[in-house]
Amino acid sequence: MNQDRLIGKVEGSYPGPLVIVVAGLHGNEDSGVYALEEVFNIIERDRIPIRGKFIGLKGNIGALKTRERYVDYDMNRCWYDHHIHALKFGQAERKSSEDMEVLDLLHWIQEESIGQYTERVMMDLHATSSENGVFIVIPQEETKLEIPKSMHIPIIFGLEKKIGGTLLNYFPSQDFVSFAFEGGVIGSEEAIKLHKTGVWDVLYASGCIQVEREERHHDVMEYIQNDHRPHPPRVSVLYRHAINRQDNFKMLPGFSNFQKIKAGDVLALDKTGEIKSPIDGLLIMPLYQDTGNDGFFIAEEIE
Select from 119-127, 129-137, 163-171, 280-288 the region that touches Zn ion (CB under 5 A): 119-127
Q: Least distance (Å) from Zn ion to the CB of residue 199?
A: 16
Q: Which residue is at the shortest CB distance from Zn ion?
A: 126
In the sheet where 51-58 sits, what is the strand order? 6-11, 51-58, 14-23, 120-128, 177-185, 134-138, 155-157, 234-242, 294-301, 281-284, 259-261
Nearer to Zn ion, 29 or 119 (CB): 29
Nearer to Zn ion, 10 or 137 (CB): 137
Nearer to Zn ion, 26 or 241 (CB): 26
Nearest to 174 by CA among 110, 126, 124: 110
The reply on whether position 26 binds Zn ion by CB under 5 A is yes
Q: Least distance (Å) from Zn ion to the CB of residue 141?
A: 22
What is the Cα–Cα distance from 132 to 152, expressed in whole angstroms?
Answer: 15
* Window 153-192: contact mask with Zn ion (x via CB under 5 A): ----------------------------------------
Amino acid identity at 46: D
The reply on whether position 126 binds Zn ion by CB under 5 A is yes
Q: What angle do CA 120, 122, 127 make, to 5 degrees?
A: 160
**Do 20 and 122 meet the contact criterion of CB atoms below 8 Å apart?**
yes
What is the Cα–Cα distance from 178 to 172, expressed in whole angstroms?
Answer: 6
Select from 6-14, 24-32, 39-47, 153-161 the region that touches Zn ion (CB under 5 A): 24-32
Q: Least distance (Å) from Zn ion to the CB of residue 126?
A: 3
Nearest to 199 by CA among 30, 67, 49, 22: 22
Nearer to Zn ion, 125 or 268 (CB): 125
For residue 155, the cross-strand partners are 136, 234
Nearer to Zn ion, 201 or 294 (CB): 294
Given the rule CB under 5 A, which residues bind Zn ion? Answer: 26, 29, 126
